[in-house]
Each structure stands twice: as C-alpha cells, then as structure tokens.
Amino acid sequence: MGCECEKNETKETLSRRNFLSKFSVGIGALIGAVLAFPLIIAMLDPVTRNTGKKWRQIGLASNFEVGKTQLVTFKNASPYKWSGKIAQSAAYIRRVENDEFVAFSVNCSHLGCPVRWEEKPELFMCPCHGGVYYKDGSRAAGPPPRGLYKYPVRISGEHLEIQTDAIPITDITA
C-alpha cells in the first residue's frame, strides 16, 4: 500500500502539468490571434472601405490633340495612407473630336497586365500574353475576352476629368 504523501505528490504533479498545458495552449492561442488580426483586417478591408467613384483631373482639355492617344497619370480612387508611389494609376486618353474624349484603362482585360500604345499601327499591345486592341479599345487579337475598360470622361471648365473606381468594374457588354 502506498503512503498518503505519494498520492498528494501525484495529484499535485497532475494539477501542475494540467495548468502548464492549459497555460501553453492559451499563450499559443493568444499569439495566433495577434498574428491573424492583420490578415483578417486585410481580408475585410475591401468590403468595409468606402471606395466610391471619384472624378480626377487629368489635365487641360486643350493639351490633347484630336486623333492622338496619350498616357496620363492620376491618383487611385482609394489609396492606402502607406501607398506612396503605388497610389498612382494611369489611363490612355484619346481625343476623338473637338469635344469628344475616350479614356481607356492601361490594364489588359485578360489578366490586368499593362498595355502600351503603339502609334504607327494605332494599336494597344499587351506584351505578356499577346493581347491586341484597336484604337477604339475593342479586342483585336489574343486571349483577352473583351475590349479595354473605358472610364467615363467629362470636361469641367477647361479641365478634362475621368471618373475612377478603386478597382475597375468589368462590364461584359462593353
């Protein structure tokens, strides 16, 4: 038969082991929650941020020649405070007639790669996957499923403005 002191030591050892086990699990859960918090915030950010459409001035209307396409830059509709230079976005502006302008996104409708404007053939070219677009932004060749995204354009006083979203919304019918 065992003595009473052996039973107390066993109870004390088990309760100490139980406490340390629960304490370790609790500390691990706390560290996991602290590390997961930024990820959860980042995942919810697009849903919770107010990212409405905004009109951006891109230059004087008189600076754009009829029949020419040129690259302009503007600040993204919803940049983060830490964004810095990556808050800048771009668009191609084409002056069709005296009071008619068209603004195209610089991103290919296939995978979002930046397209470049080729003056001589009057084509937008995507170097990544061979996407080609006509000067009106419609799809010419390659894997893109549709034409380039078009921004709404307006003239406000002497300035040309485009309406931007945080993320361009794909319009299947465009």
**Against a cut of 0.75, is the pTM above it?**
no
| pLDDT in the model for residue 139 | 87
pLDDT grade, residue 30 (50/70/90)?
very high
pLDDT in tens, 34-92: 999 888 887 887 677 666 678 888 888 888 888 888 988 887 766 666 667 777 788 89
pLDDT grade, residue 172 (50/70/90)?
very low
Conformational region of residue 84, where left means phi above 0, alpha means psi within -120 to 50, and beta covers everything else? left
| pLDDT in the model for residue 14 | 67
Higher pLDDT, 88 or 152: 152
| pLDDT in the model for residue 171 | 45
